[in-house]
Amino acid sequence: MPRVAALEMGRLGIWTWTLDAQPMSRSLEVVAELEELGFGSVWIPEAVGREPFASAALMLSATKRIVVATGIASIHARTAMTMQAGHKTLTEAFPERFLLGIGVSHGPMVTALHRRTYERPYSAMVEYLDQMDRGRFFAAEPATPTRRVLAALGPRMLELAGTRTDGAHPYFTTPEHTATARGVLGPGPMLAPEQAVILERDPAVAREIARRFMGTYTKLPNYANNLLRLGFTQDDIAGPDGQSSDRLVDAICAWGSLEQVAARIKAHFDAGASHVSVQVLAGDLVSLPMAEWRELAALVPEFA
């Protein structure tokens, strides 16, 4: 696809699913505050919570500048024609403020939640992008380009992200993966990895929070296979006690002081990231980490 100027969303954003656990009125207040704090984006997921296009529309209506991105919208949740219609609708209404992140999701989720068959994910994504690009849309067209990125981990999906979309949004990865991804993508496309952080200095407490978060993802084959490609072992992913090793925990979740968290974010930028979406983990993993977000906002000027 022809390369256009990068979306203006700053260098630092927030990735969170905790907004789904709040009444929508509260979620909108929070997104408005994240904008005031200076974050350039807020990334919202799609799994078993709110419908992301509806949520994005409400969040964009409640703010003036911040970019709302889906991280990610599943190709199994809607047809390609419906996906591109929603993409164009939000882009037309909120120019240069909506970023569509799409992905193939995971076999267990696709079969259990959507009652769909999960096979040949790369080919399925190629076909889906083709159908999006051919889809009919007879409403008012956006005046600005639509923006999309792929949830890409492996080399083939990363290459596809670089040739068919604006770039990639890797999740549950490391700065080493960011360097690999930049090598595959080349210098032009957006590379916006997610980074989990815990502003907790006690190693035992921080790692306990991290393991509760990571347990969901280490069981999913796409993430486990990516970790193996990065050099981690099956024992790192789930040892004899079923828990991830300290080595893996510390690689996936940056914990400690604000300065230590900043060092991990910087490592992604040094490895070639153009934007980092920070997922703050705190306490029960459900409550809004307002204090941590406000503390993290001190890093926005540092990475501007």
Q: Would you state the pLDDT for residue 285? A: 85
**Which stretches of the chain drop beneath a pLDDT of 50?**
1
Question: Interior CA angle at 134 toward 114 and 131, to 5°?
Answer: 25
Name the DSSP letter for residue 243.
Answer: P
Work out whether the CA dihedral 205, 177, 273, 102 comes out positive or negative: negative
Q: Would you state the pLDDT for residue 148? A: 98
Identify the three-state secondary structure at position 71. Answer: coil
Q: Indicate the average pLDDT of the chain.
A: 95
Q: Would you state the pLDDT for residue 2? A: 53
Q: Would you state the pLDDT for residue 117? A: 78
**What's the pLDDT tens digit per position in 44-82?**
999 889 999 999 999 999 999 999 999 999 999 999 999
Domain extents in the chain: 12-193+259-299
Q: Would you state the pLDDT for residue 270? A: 98
Q: Would you state the pLDDT for residue 47? A: 87
Please, what is the end-to-end C-alpha distance for the chain in angstroms? 28
- 12-193+259-299 maps to CATH 3.20.20.30: yes
**What's the pLDDT tens digit per position in 172-196?**
999 999 999 999 999 999 999 999 9
Secondary structure (DSSP) of 261-273: HHHHHHHHHHHT-
Report the predicted TM-score, pTM, of the whole model to 2 decimal places.
Answer: 0.96
Name the DSSP letter for residue 49.
Answer: S
Q: Would you state the pLDDT for residue 112? A: 56
Contact 128, 79 (CB under 8 A): no
Q: Which single residue is written with the structure tokens 């503390």?
A: 295
Q: Would you state the pLDDT for residue 111? A: 67
